[in-house]
A and B are shown apart, each in its own frame.
Chain A
Amino acid sequence: MIHFYHVTKRFDRYSTALQDVTFQIEKGELVFLTGPSGAGKSTLLKLILRQITATEGQIVVNGRNLNAMKKSQLPYFRREIGMVFQDFKLIERMTVFENLSFILTVLNVPPKEHKKKAYQALRTVDLHHKLNAYPPQLSGGEQQRVAIARALINDPLVLIADEPTGNLDADLSREIIQIFTEANLRGSTVLLATHNLELIRSSGRRSITLEHGRIAEEKARVTERPHVREGVFGIGG
């Protein structure tokens, strides 16, 4: 689903964000991307969304070679990807509902279905009662969850999140990861960039560690479907 072949990203002669990165994430996987600040995590996610292009190497996402992709195809490619940005990127002048409704407009969903779909997505993140609130009226954690709802509303093939648990307390972090795990169960391939090593350890999922723009370590998944046995990270059913 996500294939990186010897990818290098240089911003200028003196700044190399990623150096010869090669990995594959198969369809239906949930993978953590970790590493210290400045390791290249955000750059890697930006490359997947093709906010930026690779200096060298090939990136294939959902069967599309991003280097060869035409500019005109970019929006349609991005519609297949649900992205949760570190800074949420919610449109502040729009209500929570309008933020979600806009995505549905872009996806050509009939307006009469918008309310239902937005409600369902917000219910997933337990924010259905904040439908008419504006982002500035919400706490950081709530904005984070709205951003997740927006990423989920399209039932995306690939779900990417940049520090989705940053600035959240431990309980909320587990709830957020639970939401991603459920999306993964519904079929989305999930890539989560996080500093939170404890979350990664307790999930037992595959992780890729970046350091100085290179892959320093790859850990394979160690447990089978923990959510079935005891709920994800010990919460839930």
Chain B
Amino acid sequence: MPRREFIPGRREPEVPSNTFSYFFREAFRRIWVSKRTSFVAVAMIAISLFIVGSFLLVAENLGRAAEEWQGKSRVIVYLESDATPQQVEAVGRWLASKRELSNRRLVTREEAMARFRIWFANLSEVVGQLDQNPFPPSFEVDVEPRFAQSRAFQQSIGALKGMAGVDQVQYDWEWIERLRRVVNAINIAGLVAGGILAVAAAFTIANVIRLTMLLYREEIEIMRLVGATERIIRGPFLFEGFLQGTFGGVLAIVLLFATYESARRALASSSSILWGFLFTGFLPWPKIAALIAGGMLAGWFGSWLSVRERGDTEH
């Protein structure tokens, strides 16, 4: 090894190039040595991210449902029961003349009755006892989502309502808008609750790292005396927090997926109409990655808090 003479002004590497593998090795070893305290830290992170993830998952599914319903924006034009065939035809022509309206379908009174019998099988007997078919004929048309948001659409609906034979025009995206607001509120609530919990988890990690540093204080002193820089000394502790955060993030995702699948199997099969929209899919990859990254960040931040404090006591 070449003798290292002192050269004024020479810049030494802060962290040697082969040190990162040492950081990881040491961090893994320390986690293994302090299994119980590490588990507490990992569990705290996992619980925090699980809660955030739950909110995100509910919001994601509701959002998807809203998206789907918005995509299928539909207008139902209920006709009067005694509407004449000419009036029905006139309404059909009017609907056909609008480019923004597509998939026009006439639902006859008989079809409406048949649908009711399928959807509400328990009530089919009651309907059978009625003297006459209570369901009016209707037109169902799909509306382009962009057009549905426009002022022109409102004007068209006004014109449609004024046509002879038209009883009622029903469209349903006002509540979709409300649903979107609910989704946003859920997202914000999840992020706030999760954020608070993540900070608490970061402090737990900080305490765990502080304990580990106390455990290793003699070793740290030796390292300083043989020329280890603060970064080399602190590196394994930072990586320890980072790894705990990563494990916490991964554990949260695994738990979330397991819970989601169990709930889907338990609820979705028994009453799919009621719960089906909550189980359209798990979180997308970017959100999974964001949750794990959140764990990493919380772990890193926690360990940074404790190693930063120790820096002042060096000699």
Contact = CB atoms under 8 A, between A and B. Distances in A.
A155 B6 CA distance: 14
A105 B223 CA distance: 11
Nearest to B21: A111
A10 interface: no
B224 A75 contact: yes
A104 to B, nearest CB: 9
A62 B3 contact: no
Given A49-B225, A51-B225, A103-B226, A110 B4 contact: no
Given A105-B16, A157-B4, A75 B229 contact: yes
B227 interface: yes
B115 to A, nearest CB: 73
The prevalent SS among residues of A at the interface is loop
A76 B227 contact: yes
A221 interface: no
Interface string A54-73: 00000000111000000100
Contacts of A110: 18
B171 interface: no
A117 B1 CA distance: 9
Interface residues of B, number: 28
B122 interface: no
A166 interface: no
A187 B226 contact: no
B309 interface: no
B204 to A, nearest CB: 25
A108 interface: yes
Contact of A71 (B3, B17, B232, B314): B314
Interface in B279-304: none
B228 A154 contact: no
A78 B226 contact: yes
Which of A49, A108, A110: most chain B CB closer than 10 A? A108
B22 interface: yes
Given A62-B6, A91-B219, A155-B1, A108 B227 contact: no
A106 B228 contact: yes
A34 to B, nearest CB: 23
9 contacts: A75-B229, A75-B230, A80-B4, A83-B226, A85-B225, A89-B225, A93-B219, A106-B227, A154-B4
The 5 closest A-B pairs by CB, nearest first: A108-B16, A79-B227, A78-B227, A75-B229, A75-B227
Given A51-B225, A91-B219, A157-B5, 9 more contacts: A71-B314, A75-B229, A77-B227, A85-B225, A105-B19, A108-B18, A109-B1, A150-B226, A157-B3
Interface of B: 1, 3-6, 8, 12-13, 16-19, 21-22, 219, 221-230, 232, 314-315
